[in-house]
A = this chain, B = another copy of it.
Amino acid sequence: MRSELSEPTVYRLCVVLRILEELRSKQIVISSSELSKYTNTTAYTLRKDFSLLSGVASSKSGYDIENLIFCIKSKLDIGIAKYAAIAGLGRIGMAILNYTDSRIKGYDIVAGFDASVNKLETLHTDIPLYPAYDIEDIVRELKIKLAVIAVPADKAQEIALRFIKGGVEGIINFAPVIIKTDVDTVYIKNIDLVTEFNFLSSIVKTKGE
């Protein structure tokens, strides 16, 4: 069904979905031009993206927000839980492990990993925890498809490879290195807040006086 959607279209629909879910408690309909304002995408592009969905209801005043949320979620299979795991149970890892916010309920975090077996014994959580050397086996056994990596820089690439060998297809990497793979069926998103802060700071100085 979804194979006809390009990655940029999928990304824009994810941005739109996020905004609709923020606005649903405040308004009932929204026009493509109002959505355009929030997403920095032209109303024309948004209407084109929506034309690829099924069952979208619109009137002169705009799109019905609840209907549009339903159509996007159906098309993107968001809300159908996918098994996820987290490696590296430091501050970021534990924050995500405990992030049970309903907005990411499409994820069922079924395993946490850490290299330190001693640390695993001190953590309190309902989610099963395993030593990092078990990653490949557990990922295969539990059919885990998504991984979050929050391990130290010099371990990140190796941990990513274990996840990929086990069958993971998507990785969000918070370690401050750029993880890469030759396997083009795996999507990797690298996110590092400290780098963003430093970059911003440098740019500000450059653009300032």
Contact = CB atoms under 8 A, between A and B. Distances in A.
A191 to B, nearest CB: 7
B187 A107 contact: no
A91 to B, nearest CB: 9
Contacts of A146: 200-201, 204
Main secondary structure of the interface of A (DSSP, over half): helix
A202 B145 contact: no
Contacts of A202: 2, 10, 13-14, 76-78
Contacts of A13: 202
A150 interface: no
B10 A203 contact: yes
Interface string A180-209: 100001010101111111111111111110
A67 interface: no
Copies of this chain per assembly: 2
A26 interface: yes
Band of interface residues on A: 35 or more
Q: Which of A23, A198, A204 has its CB near the most chain B CB atoms (within 10 A)?
A: A198
A195 B14 contact: yes
A191 B196 contact: yes
Given A19-B177, A189-B200, 12 more contacts: A2-B202, A11-B199, A14-B202, A15-B178, A22-B153, A22-B177, A23-B154, A26-B154, A77-B202, A78-B202, A189-B199, A191-B196
User: Can you list the 8 inter-chain pairs with the closest CB atoms, starting with the nearest?
Assistant: A22-B153, A40-B178, A18-B176, A170-B200, A76-B202, A170-B204, A14-B198, A169-B204
